[in-house]
Structure 1
């Protein structure tokens, strides 16, 4: 699977970061890039269950490619969501279903920061993306 320019940019930035402090700062910066969801999008229908924090996910298809918006009440999780989104934006459903989430975060050097609950939460988001992609 090829990487988008934005995903490549993220990968380069995180691979150049030295240590957790720099990665944490980068994570917060990426989280700040997330497009804000309006209050109507923060509905129960858009809520991702299986996350300890509140997470909302909105999806739409554009010429066979998936686009997502997401947000969370947790700042660190917003950064992780931003990195997930840059990896999945524009993927067709088949590639979305095959995404190696642990592999992506390992490439970014963030696998140690993924506590079991954060990892489960991100998998819940990815699962929800797949459900939305196959439901349409």
Structure 2
């Protein structure tokens, strides 16, 4: 349900999110942890449609583990993408198939701060990854 994140990984992330005086600051810090996406991957063919902010995604399977490249023009969206990256980069097909975005956001107590339109965009990213 959380990709490759264990309960202890979730507890650690949740503690970090709750320690921040502002949860947006936590997301912006997460954005900084997302590995840089090569500029040549930021092309129209790799854009995920349905997101408010511009989002790029490249997902490849290597030896039955998922290799992700994600980026966004928005720092907050990029922070949310970083959480998806932590959950799914290096995950197995079964972990990817079982991943539930809403469950991850609820487990990190972030679900109330993600708007419906932003959540729909993130679901479009997860759906594209799960294909």
TM over 0.5: yes
Alpha-carbon contact 1:27-1:76 (below 8 Å) kept:
yes
> Which segment is superposed worse, 4-13 or 73-82?
4-13
- After superposition, residues 35-114 of structure 1 pair within 5 angstroms as 35-114=35-114
Matched, 1:128 2:98: no
Q: 1:50 to 1:8 in 2, by over 3 A?
A: farther
> Which segment is superposed worse, 13-22 or 36-45?
13-22
- Structure 1 unaligned blocks of 5 or more: 132-136
- Render the CA deviation track for 1:86-112: whole Å, top value 9, x for unaligned: 011222223312212101110111001
SS, match of residue 60 in structure 1: strand
> Which segment is superposed worse, 114-123 or 3-12?
3-12
- In the superposition, the TM-score normalised over structure 2's length comes to 0.86
The CA RMSD measured in Å over matched residues stands at 2.4
- In the superposition, the TM-score normalised over structure 1's length comes to 0.84
- Structure 2 unaligned blocks of 5 or more: none
Matched pairs, number: 131
Counterpart Cα distance in 2 of 1:98 and 1:13 = 20
- Render the CA deviation track for 1:6-36: whole Å, top value 9, x for unaligned: 9844641323544774422221111011111
Alpha-carbon contact 1:96-1:130 (below 8 Å) kept:
yes
Alpha-carbon contact 2:4-2:95 (below 8 Å) kept:
no
Matched, 1:27 2:24: no
Tell me what 1:134 maps to: none
SS, match of residue 51 in structure 1: coil
